[in-house]
Amino acid sequence: MRLSRYFLPVLKENPSEAQIVSHRYMLRAGMIKQQAAGIYSWLPLGYRVLKRIEQIVHEEQARAGHIPLLMPTLQPADLWRESGRYDDYGQEMLRIKDRHDRDMLFGPTNEEMITDIFRAHVGSYKDLPMTLYHIQWKFRDEMRPRFGVMRGREFLMKDGYNFDIDKDAALHAYNRHMVSYLRTYERMGLTAIPMRADSGPIGGDDTHEFLVLASTGESEVFYDAAVTDLKLGAREVDFDNRDEVAGICKEFTTLYARTDETHDAALFDQIPEDRRKVGRGIEVGQIFYFGTKYSEAMGATVVTPDGSKVPVEMGSHGIGVSRLLGAIIEASHDDKGIIWPEGVTPFPVGIVNLKQGDASTDLACEGLYKALKAKGLEALYDDREERAGAKFATMDLIGLPWRITVGPRGLANGVIELTSRRTGESEEMSAEAAVDRVVQIYEGHR
């Protein structure tokens, strides 16, 4: 992408409405524009990151064997009357009437609708296990929308629903989600800690929230510092192997890590003092096992091998896709701007032309741009007639992890400069070597 032809409306001044760094940088980097309280347009740069995050979510769901579909944003109230939640949900639900005076709502979540799909089309144990998910906009009329995309009213969520023949199978689905979520967040450069939580209005016995540690997080968290060292890494997981998947969950949930809702001071005191931490966290996902709560209320049954009919066992599992942009920035920035992890960056690398209009620098930049493109990497090429300082400031603000700087002085010696946004360290090398290096860095990320 050539910056001269892109739409990147960066702001020089700090927007006064933004109280936390991620909101401030998302506005300044021209990623989002507020349209109403808690409702945003996703401008091109923000949209690119949102799509990257969605793609990682899809890839990791596929790896766990989960099936994508798409349900509508608008739902008929009657479905929610069946579960009893139409009256229970309260003012967070946006209620709408259509021209025939029928009650509709903008979905805050999809348990009822997915149960309706299941009961219409599935009836036998032979079709199970089955996990369906979608990535769709939700609306919750939050009392206090704030912090930009972190607590929006309209927000993008991945929500998945498992259907299983018995409780053991449903608990395996729960564990499978925990492990696939761990990998999902790690690919985004995040440490998201599964913490035992309270189930709230969805109801159920088992639930964990995934929290990213950040001083601006809305939840108070209590944890053993050793949990932050746990990593799934590159391990191959056989998602059908119940013991293996349960073993990984055990590894990640044995050390103390809880939000204030389930905090237990007596247990917390047993942690060695130097590892006992109180902090704040951002909830980026949650998994629930709730058994037959919805299937019983809505008559979603399956025939078992012995011929009896039982309500199907279920759980639901969510990832805050749009909130993740804020969480990643909270976890990865400095005083100049965002520092995108390679997994989610909008562009893998930026090219800064220090002397636009100079035939040899222009030619070298074009050559780099095309060589990267031929390797499947779309650079953001700053080809504007701008001072070098302004170009660097823009690159630092929008946070591409790597920058290639091209100027006449270096070119005279046959070199360009490759700079890491995270460390600020630069290295001189030939243009070919820089392309190879960037290609190598992104192996495994795209």
Q: Site residues (CB under 5 A) for Mg ion? A: 286
- We find the least distance from the C-beta atom of residue 226 to ligand ATP, in angstroms, to be 24
The span from the CA of 21 to the CA of 332, in Å, is 10
The piece of 5-13, 25-33, 147-155, 411-419 that touches ligand ATP (CB under 6 A) is 147-155
Q: Can you list the positions of beta strands (E) in 123-217?
A: 130-139, 154-164, 192-196, 206-213
What is the nearest approach in angstroms of Mg ion to the Cβ of residue 314? 17
The number of helix segments (H) and strand segments (E) in the chain equals: 14, 23
Angle at 311 between CA 133 and CA 136, to 5 degrees: 15
Supply φ then ψ for residue 124, to 5 degrees.
-130, 150
Closest C-alpha to 171, from 217, 206, 209: 206
How far apart CA 252 and CA 257 sit, in angstroms, is 10
- According to DSSP, residue 227 is labeled G
* Spatial CA neighbour of 182 closest among 290, 284, 303, 113: 284
Binding-residue pattern over the window 320 to 339 for ligand ATP, x denoting contact by CB under 6 A:
x-xx----------------
Nearer residue to ligand ATP within complex by CB, 212 or 404: 212
The CA distance from 152 to 137, in Å, is 11
Q: Indicate the residue among 288 and 369 with the shorter CB distance to ligand ATP.
A: 288
124 DSSP 8-state letter? B
**What x/- string results for residues 153 through 172 when contact with ligand ATP is judged by CB under 6 A?**
--x-x---------------
215 close to 281: Cβ distance less than 8 angstroms = no
Q: How far is the CB of 331 from Mg ion (least distance, A)?
A: 19
Distance of CA 4 to the CA centre of its chain: 30
* Helix residue ranges per DSSP H, 239-302: 242-253, 265-268, 293-298
Report the residue from 79, 195, 227, 284 that binds ligand ATP according to the rule CB under 6 A.
Answer: 284
Picked from Mg ion, ligand ATP, none, the partner binding residue 285 (CB below 5 to 8 A depending on kind) is ligand ATP
Which of 160, 194, 217, 285 binds ligand ATP (CB under 6 A)? It is: 285
Contacts of 304 (CB under 8 A, 6+ apart): 125, 165, 310
- Which CB, 283 or 382, lies closer to Mg ion? 283
Among the residue ranges 63-71, 151-159, 164-172, 346-354, the one whose residues contact ligand ATP (CB under 6 A): 151-159
CB of 218 to ligand ATP, least distance (A): 6
Tokens 């035992």 correspond to what residue? 196
Minimum distance between the CB of residue 107 and ligand ATP, rounded to whole angstroms?
12
Binding to ligand ATP by CB under 6 A, coded x per residue (else -) over 67-106, reads: ----------------------------------------
Q: Does 148 bind ligand ATP (CB under 6 A)?
A: no
Residue 151 within binding range of ligand ATP, rule CB under 6 A: yes
Binding mask of the shown chain, residues 231 to 260, with x at each position contacting ligand ATP by CB under 6 A:
------------------------------
Minimum Å gap between C-beta 273 and Mg ion is 31
Q: Is residue 194 part of the contact set for ligand ATP (CB under 6 A)?
A: no
- Give the Cβ contact number of residue 80 at 10 Å: 22
- Residues making contact with ligand ATP (CB under 6 A): 109, 140, 142, 151-152, 155, 157, 283-286, 318, 320, 322-323
